[in-house]
Chain A
Amino acid sequence: VAKPIDLLQGTLDMLILKAVSLGPLHGYGVLLRIQQISKDRLEIQQGSLYPALYRLEHQGWIASEWGESENKRKAKYYRLTAAGKRRFQAETEKWNRMADVIAGILSTRPEEV
């Protein structure tokens, strides 16, 4: 099994937005969902997850609400807000443009310069 790679700086916020855009989740659920989508190829520091959630909530991209978990316990659920949805789309676009540019640069061959 390949060793999971660490997250790039600033990408955790985007992944959290993506995770909660698929449906409301509690903090632990966000962690599981990102791991599940990434097929365990990403290593997420659990300790950095909650500050990120709080930051996103403070900025208004996500909203929280106490609800009941699968095993009948009280848990805080996060969902994407309308502003968060717009933000997520903008971030996705930016990321794709950036990835294109970087990939283009890295794949340049000597004869193309």
Chain B
Amino acid sequence: MTIWSRLRSWLRTILQRAGVEGELDAELRFHMEARAEDLIRGGVPCEVALRRARLEFGGIENAKEECREARGVGFIESLLQDVRFGTRMLRKSPGFTAIAVLTLALGIGASAAVFSLVNAILLKPLPYPDSTRIVLPELVSPPGVNLGSEYFPWGQLQFRMLTRDAHPFQTVAAFQNDTFNLTGSGEPSSLDGFRASQEFFSALGVAPTLGRAFTSEEDQPGREFEVILSDRLWRERFAADRYILGRTVVRIPARGRNAE
């Protein structure tokens, strides 16, 4: 049994349905006419020969249906019939339909939500050039030593040691989650942000759209009041003001911070 001949015959049937039907009609017509001619030659009157030929043949529609099935179109036809039947039944019981649709919608929605999360967190690369070379090293306890935890936060001391000694990284930067209070510019609000070292932007391989990244002078104790605004905050709270550079925008109890 050759798979190709089946595929060919299926494709032909699907793509040229009208043509195939026409061929079937023509083929059977030829059969009837040839048979009728033979009957006439055998002495049957012209007028009844074709009718006799039809009678001899038996159920033509039945034979056609069997031919279609033999070509392997039966399953497409019956699929269409099933679809039509299904639609009719669904329309007949709207309560069931609503529950089924709702179930499907919730299921699909949940899957899509989970996927977009997994996609964003696990599958999609970070939006930085050379993002595969950005790593987040972790401090782990020495093997065999139980310190109550496997991972430890980086301290200032470890970070200083890492940057001072020879290390395998091109750039090393530190950052830490923090919240900041924004006042003096519309409604006061609490903002999520990072405290970041000078190399933060060069390590990610990006630069601020406006202004500059932190300098080494600003990376000293006592100079922690320079901020770089996120694009979203700049647009939402400061109306994308291009002259914001150098302005005091944030106040944390009694001390100002300059936007950079």
Interface residues of B in 177-228 (CB under 8 A from A): none
A60, B26: Cβ atoms under 8 Å? no
A93 to B1: give the CA distance in the assembly, Å: 18
Partner of B58, one of A45, A52, A69: A45
Contact flags (1/0) for A46-85 with B, using CB distance below 8 Å?
1110111011011110000010010101111000000100
Q: Is the interface on chain B under 10, 10 to 19, 20 to 34, or 35 or more residues? A: 20 to 34
In the bound complex, residues from chain A placing their C-beta under 8 Å from that of B4 are 60
B57, A69: Cβ atoms under 8 Å? no
CB of B59 within 8 Å of the partner chain:
yes
CB of A33 within 8 Å of the partner chain:
no
Known A57-B9, A60-B1, A69-B30; contact A47-B37, beta-carbon cutoff 8 A: no
A60, B6: Cβ atoms under 8 Å? yes
A27 to B27: give the CA distance in the assembly, Å: 8
Partner of B70, one of A45, A58, A69, A76: A58
CB of B67 within 8 Å of the partner chain:
yes
Residue of A nearest to B2 (CB): A60
CB of A28 within 8 Å of the partner chain:
yes
CB of B23 within 8 Å of the partner chain:
yes
CB of B5 within 8 Å of the partner chain:
yes
A76, B58: Cβ atoms under 8 Å? no
Residue of B nearest to A47 (CB): B58
B63, A58: Cβ atoms under 8 Å? no
Interface residues of B in 45-82 (CB under 8 A from A): 56-60, 62-63, 66-67, 69-72
A50, B27: Cβ atoms under 8 Å? yes
B59, A47: Cβ atoms under 8 Å? yes
Interface residues of A in 17-49 (CB under 8 A from B): 26-28, 45-48
Contact flags (1/0) for B22-51 with A, using CB distance below 8 Å?
011011101101110100000000000000
- Count of residues in A whose CB is under 8 Å from the partner chain: 24
B63, A48: Cβ atoms under 8 Å? yes
A46 to B35: give the CA distance in the assembly, Å: 11
A51, B66: Cβ atoms under 8 Å? yes
Q: What is the interface of chain A, defined by CB distance below 8 A to chain B?
A: 26-28, 45-48, 50-52, 54-55, 57-60, 66, 69, 71, 73-76, 83
Jot down 18 A-B pairs with beta carbons below 8 A, ordered by A: A26-B31, A46-B31, A46-B57, A46-B58, A47-B58, A48-B63, A48-B66, A50-B28, A50-B66, A51-B63, A54-B71, A58-B5, A58-B9, A58-B70, A75-B27, A75-B34, A76-B23, A83-B5
Q: What is the interface of chain B, defined by CB distance below 8 A to chain A?
A: 1-2, 4-6, 9, 23-24, 26-28, 30-31, 33-35, 37, 56-60, 62-63, 66-67, 69-72
With A27-B31, A50-B27, A50-B63 given, can you name 19 additional A-B contacts, CB distance below 8 Å?
Answer: A26-B31, A26-B34, A28-B31, A28-B34, A28-B35, A46-B31, A46-B57, A48-B66, A50-B67, A54-B71, A57-B71, A58-B71, A60-B5, A66-B23, A71-B34, A73-B33, A75-B27, A76-B30, A83-B5
